[in-house]
Amino acid sequence: MIADDEPEIHELLSPYLKREGYRVESVFSGQDAITRCYAAPPAAMLLDVMLPERDGFEVCRRVRGAFDFPILFLSARGQESDKVLGLGLGADDYVTKPFSPAEVVARVNAHIRRHQGLAQPFPRSQTDMLPAPKNIKVGGLLIDPAIARVWKRDGSHADLSAGELRLLMFFAQSPGRIYTKKQLYEAAWEEPYLGLSEDNTVMVAVRRLRERVEDAPEDPKYILTVRGLGYRMVAPDGSN
């Protein structure tokens, strides 16, 4: 889905996306974007910030609260505060105008591929003949890799996708250690790190992982941001 009130943007991007095999749905207002997503969620959304009726930030907030497909902002507003807001609302990427259509399509392909990898269930069938991996305990969290599940101190649990499990296991094997976005990306996605797009992917993945393991994701106690360096996992009570 392309949600932009400029017909020229649709005309520019649609041929490139169609050549990649995508069916392109064009909408021109924020409210129409929300309505169409609820009617038939797309594989990915390219979203302008300055939309009539509801702006792109409101669309992102509403859509991300209900769906989990990649959202990429396309905007003439390139201020850092806009980018931080867009990514904070759950977008997967933020591309400023003017842009290269080929680059936008490459980012769409990459985010859909990564999203599908993170969303895949843990491949139990491939591990049935192997010894069950040992559980890992970090503070009040108990990670059971054999069934891709993390248990909290209060007895509640969350099931993890394969990508979430790889990321959490990577953190948990060395509590307290600081990892850069590059290290996390290459460990969880097993692909070469290229730069900003991969940074955004890691930020989104960490946010989703916090939603699984933290009691209050907006005030994390286990997976902490280390400003200017990356992330680390800690045990709040000091035990591992």
CATH number, position 53:
3.40.50.2300
* pTM metric for this prediction: 0.59
Angle at 42 between CA 49 and CA 150, to 5 degrees: 95
Q: Last residue of some domain: 119, 149, 171?
A: 119
Nearest by Cα to 22 from 31, 32, 13 = 13
**Phi then psi dihedrals of residue 232, to 5 deg:** -145, 155
Q: Examine residue 32 and state whether it is found in any structural domain, yes or no.
A: yes
- Whether 92 and 45 map to the same domain: the answer is yes
- Is the pLDDT at 129 greater than 70? The verdict is no
Last residue of a domain, one of 119, 139, 157: 119
Number of domains forming the structure of the chain: 2
- State the pLDDT confidence band at 42, using cuts at 50, 70 and 90: very high
Last residue of a domain, one of 96, 119, 142: 119
Calculate mean pLDDT across residues 178-200.
82
- Number of residues assigned to the chain: 240
Give me the chain's average pLDDT, please. Answer: 86
- The answer to whether the beta carbons of residues 150 and 168 sit under 8 Å apart is yes
Helix/strand/coil for 80: helix
